[in-house]
Amino acid sequence: MPQRKVTEKCMCAQGVCETRDLDNISVKTSPEYGRGNTDYFVAANSPLPSMTTVAFVGAGPSPRHSSVLYVGSTYTGTTSTSIRQTVPALSSRSLSAGPGLLRFTYVDGLTGGTLVKLRSEAIAKLPITYVAGFTAAGFANFLTVQPEHFALENFGAPPTVSATFGSRLVHVCQRDRGFYSYVEMPIRCHSGNVDFNLVRSATVIQPAADLAARLLLKSESGDRRKIIVAVFSRSLGEGDTPSNASAVCLYRLVDVQRKFVDNVRHCFSGHQTRAGSQFGNRMCVSLVSSLR
């Protein structure tokens, strides 16, 4: 696959991307697209720190799309509801050269595709800040900051949105062409009696032998031996403004995987309250168990 560099420019309600030749960046290698085609709306184009885009390359759902671009993006536009409804919160994009470059990896008119959209009522009321992303053990993962609770119970009624913010870990299978496996759960970082609720940055590392031994990971291999290292801040009051107080928390990926599996099992067995009204009629997309 030829090397590409993705650059961002503004278009209408949301930023779009294009590719350029690394040997001569004045040469654009992505195809032309019709103005207003929302399939190409990829990145948040606002200077506000709460409106972000996280993108990374990972494995795709098929041999044809063995490498794709995963994108989580805050919606930043102020245009019509019809445009808001077409821009996904999370998607994967094709990196295959040709007219499909940077469009959704897979789309099916009946069942959806490699994208997750918020309901129009949620887009206006549920701000989601994407902080970090990574792939591990066959899954794409995003860390976000968003209101802790969102409920849209009755059609036509305004949603209930909490003033307090928390962090979430989003999880979707890389081989899933419909993103039915999309799940999210709260992720917490505590020090003593202090709850550091806003994730600020994160990375995945392979711990050295001494740390692996302390974390009881010496018998694990591959991604199951890795850990997430995340920096959190405590919010100032109820909003999403971070204070100067911060903490670092470590999470074993083997525990993360186990918690997601447990949550999905509880959801399908009827032992958890169904949530996820921000996604419309999707089943079991937002679960209430926390990872600590």
Mean pLDDT of 271-277: 56
Examine the pLDDT at 221 and tell me if it is beyond 50.
yes
Give tens-digit pLDDT for 78-128. Answer: 555 566 667 789 999 998 877 788 889 998 877 789 999 888 778 878 889
Burial class (CB in 10 A: 0-12, 13-18, 19+), 125: middle
Residue 164: the pLDDT is: 93
The model's pTM is 0.84
pLDDT of residue 272: 54
Cα 19 to its chain centre, rounded Å, is 22
